[in-house]
Each structure stands twice: as structure tokens, then as C-alpha cells.
Structure 1
Amino acid sequence: MSILKNQVALVTGSSRGIGAAIAAAFAQAGARVVLHGRDEAALAAVRTRIGGDILIVTGDVTASADLARVRERILDAYGQVDVLVTSAGSTTSRPAPIEDITEESWRADIERNLTSTFLTVKTFLPDMKRRRGGNIITLSSAAGRKPSDRTIVAYAAAKAGVQLFTQDLAAQVGPYGIRANCLAPETILTETNQAWIPEDVQRSLAEAHPLRRLGTPEDVARAALFLASEESSWITGVVVDVAGGAVLT
């Protein structure tokens, strides 16, 4: 399969989990993939595993100066970015009543998930607009799709913000031939979640999904591959729930 042949794809946060799976799917589809993260050894392991034409860049997606250096490195190597996936994002918080959330943890979740998406897009968008073409895929979460008294409030607010940011972006850049869409995964069995969530809890969570299983990074990667390809050329500004039916509206 070579539906992304000769496309340059930057996947931020691709040292593990969903980002690494998206990078692997893109490489298998013929793309020249740029792996990005802060752990160079982990990125090198991903490159070894997936093979292909792979460039590694490191940096902090909450720092515009780091992103500018990443951009220059990619332009020197490949000349452009055709597909941008903003997969970087995380939280170290736990569900808590709003009055117990510290300002520090709130700002950290907003920075890691929403500000990082804004800064990454801001860095690469001018080049896409000049070329009048490009494809942007952001990563939200089911946490930003459905209210819950058990959610991590700042993380959920940031991910909901990513969705609206993406839709506003799509409206602005459509006339330049650029598409922007958002993926919103539910519970995904990444390496981290498999280690952190006990097996009995995994089974209970799976039963809460209409499809009676939890998602895998490859489930998200296949959705990203569809949005990155010309198979979805008439789709922009949408939020795709990769959620096993857990988000039904």
C-alpha cells in the first residue's frame, strides 16, 4: 500500500503509543516520516522497528523556539511537511473536584495538550498556506467529548479545546487547499495504559463499550491514515470518535 507515497509526514509525540502507531502506519503507506519527541533513544527504537525513510527530531512542543528548530531541520531534509499530526499530549493529573485542582496542574494540562497543538500548527501552517496544500490531524480525546464526574477536568477542557480549534482551523484554511480534522480516541491500550490499568478494570471498561473491547493504538492509526489520504479528500473540520461506540450522540 502506497497511498502516502512521497508525502512527508510529521508525527509529534511518536516515541511510543498512539503516535508511534500512526508513524508506523504512515511509513507502511509510503510516507517519509518524521518522528518527534523528547526521548531520542525511544524514537530510535521506533525507527528501528518500523523502518523506511525516517527522520528523528527532538524538541518540546510547548516551546515555539524548539518547534522552529524542528521546522528548519525538516525543511533541510525534506523541503516541506505535507501531513502534520499533533499527537503529543499527556497528563499526570488524577480526577479531582474542581476546587482541589491546583493552578499549576491546570496550566500544565492546558500547555501540554492545547497550547502544544496551537504552537505546532502555528509553526507549520505558513509553509502549507504558501504551497496551498497540506493536511493537519489533531488528537483530542473522548474525555473532551462527554462530561463526567470522574474525568480529569483540565485535560478534558484542553482536549475539548483542541476539537474547536481544529474546526476553526478547518474553516480558515480550507480556501488554501488545506484540510484539518481531529481524532478523539477513548480508552486505548497503549503500553502505559496496559501497565497502569489492572486487567480486571480493563475487562470492566471493555464491557462498557458497545463493541465490548478496548481500543488499540493501531485502531487510531488506521483512522489517521484514512484522514491523511486522498480517500478523505472531501472531509475537513470533523471530529472522529475512535471510541468503540462509547461516545454516542
Structure 2
Amino acid sequence: MPKKVAWVLGGAKGLGVMVAKGLAQDGYQLVINYRKSRQAAQKLQHELQEIGSDALILQGDVSQLSAVKQMVQEVMHTWGRIDVLVCTAGPFHFKPIPLVELQDHQWGEMIDGNLSSVFYITREVIPIMRQQGGGRIITFGFAGAELAPAWSGYSSYAAAKVGLVSLTRTLAEEEASFGITVNMIYPGDIRDPYKEALISEARGQADPRSRVGRPGTGEDIARVVRFLAHPDSDWITGAIIPVTGGFSLHWNYVK
């Protein structure tokens, strides 16, 4: 039986790096796509190969339908299957911008990168998973997104991710009978250098954004992804899972 394939969208940098490494440890072949970070993707490919996983790296912007279609074709030509899809890719603007000051291209970047991209990729991948008899799809949100909170200065990003909550739950209902689970993880305020770090590297470090006290890491997120991707997690679908260290938007957002 061929090895299963996991595709980590935008996994060349950030939280996707530890997700990819964790899935490689679980025996998956990996697909990593990137927009501009070719050198980082090649470095990760080498690290995954050291773990024992074959890795395919692809250049492509998931907010563009033509690029999504091309990448799916390349993955199927190379591996012939897609078992796990982890949607870590998604832009964010760190400078708060009131809605009336948003430019059209800024609104479009957040909506296309965080919501339309998931629509494009899932519409292409779900028929493949159906034919295989099942699969796992994991989306990413922000703390409290399922409550549709106000987030002043970040209206476009928040609107996209709140929409993604509904999309995630809708897909979970529509695809349950096909053996496809669809869940969302929302991370806390995880920042560099901890996005690509192990939990052991954060032990003993202080983080005022975390009620737990220590910084969150990419490994914290990867552990939950690996759990959701497991075959025995098939009874969990439509879930919105916080991995936040207790962080919420009710706290002052630390710049």
C-alpha cells in the first residue's frame, strides 16, 4: 500500500514547519508549497528527508485558482493521492487599519488569502479524498473566531477567518458520510522565534500574552494536527479547537 500523503499549505515557514516535521514522523510523505520562500522550502525538504519522509516542494499561491489547479495536478502526478490537507497558509497585516481606511487590494489580500484559498483547494481536493474513501482537512483560525468577535483594526482578516469557521463546519457536515473530517485549530499569539520551535525550547521562558506563562510553539500546534490526522480521530469533525495557552482577544493585543 502506498504511503499516505499530507499537504501543508504554505508550510515552508512559520507554524507549518513543525506541522510538516510532525507528520513526517508519523510516516506521511509531504507536500509543501510556497510563494516566495524557495530557499526555506528546500531547507525543510532536506530536513524532512532526514526524518525519512519524501517531500515534494511546489511554488504556488493558493489564493490563485490557476495555481491551485496546477499544484493539485503535480501532487497527483507525483504521489497519486492526498490524505491530509493542512491549511496553515494565510496572510495577516500586523499594523491595525480601520475599515474606512482599507484599500481594495488590502481587503482582497485578506479575503482571498484566508478564505477563498481554502474554498479553491478544498473544492479540488475533496473529490480525490472521496475517491480514496476518506481524508482529513484542518483549517486555521484565530482565538475566538467561532464567536465572531469584533477585532478593531483587523476587520478584513477577522471577516475572512470568521467566514472560514462556517465553511469548516459546513464542509464537516457535507463530507462526513464520505469519511472526510474537517476541523479548525486556532493558535494563540505565537511569535518568532517560537513558530518553528520545539516545546522544550519554550520551557522556562516568559510570555505575557499567555495565561500558561510560557510562549506557544509550532510543536504545540503540530501535536494537535497529528492527533486530528490520525485514523482513529474519525469521530471528531466540525470542531473548533483552541491551542492558545489561554490567550484571547479580550486581553490587550500586544504589538
1:1-249 matches, within 5 Å, as 6-38=3-35, 39-51=37-49, 52-92=53-93, 94-142=95-143, 144-145=145-146, 147-191=149-193, 206-247=207-248
Give 1:184's aligned amino acid: Y
Pairwise CA distance, 1:139: 1.3
Pairwise CA distance, 1:93: 5.2
SS at match of 1:187: coil
Structure 1 CA distance for aligned equivalents of residues 212 and 150 of structure 2:
21
Structure 1 CA distance for aligned equivalents of residues 163 and 17 of structure 2:
24
SS at match of 1:56: strand
Give 1:60's aligned amino acid: D
On the 8 A contact 1:11/1:87 being kept in 2, the answer is yes
What is the aligned length? 236
On the 8 A contact 2:5/2:29 being kept in 1, the answer is yes
Structure 2 CA distance for aligned equivalents of residues 222 and 192 of structure 1:
15
Pairwise CA distance, 1:71: 1.1
TM-score for both structures, normalised by structure 2: 0.85
Pairwise CA distance, 1:167: 0.4
Structure 2 CA distance for aligned equivalents of residues 151 and 224 of structure 1:
30
SS at match of 1:88: coil
Give 1:238's aligned amino acid: A
On the 8 A contact 1:64/1:123 being kept in 2, the answer is no
Give 2:3's aligned amino acid: N
On the 8 A contact 2:144/2:249 being kept in 1, the answer is no
Structure 2 CA distance for aligned equivalents of residues 90 and 143 of structure 1:
18
Give 2:16's aligned amino acid: G
Greater Cα shift, 63-72 or 168-177: 63-72
TM-score for both structures, normalised by structure 1: 0.87
Structure 1 CA distance for aligned equivalents of residues 133 and 47 of structure 2:
34
On the 8 A contact 1:14/1:23 being kept in 2, the answer is yes
The one-character-per-residue Cα deviations of 1:172-226 (angstroms, maximum 9, x if unpaired) are 00011111111111111234989xxxxxxx95xx334321223111111111111
Structure 2 CA distance for aligned equivalents of residues 62 and 55 of structure 1:
20
Structure 1 CA distance for aligned equivalents of residues 103 and 74 of structure 2:
37
The one-character-per-residue Cα deviations of 1:73-96 (angstroms, maximum 9, x if unpaired) are 111111110111111111235212
Greater Cα shift, 31-40 or 150-159: 150-159
On the 8 A contact 1:12/1:87 being kept in 2, the answer is yes
The one-character-per-residue Cα deviations of 1:34-53 (angstroms, maximum 9, x if unpaired) are 11112322210111123221
Closer/same/farther in 2, CA of residues 56 and 149 from structure 1, 3 Å limit: closer
On the 8 A contact 1:15/1:37 being kept in 2, the answer is yes
The one-character-per-residue Cα deviations of 1:216-246 (angstroms, maximum 9, x if unpaired) are 1111111111111124221001011111122
SS at match of 1:142: coil
Identity %: 33
Give 1:62's aligned amino acid: S
Give 1:86's aligned amino acid: C
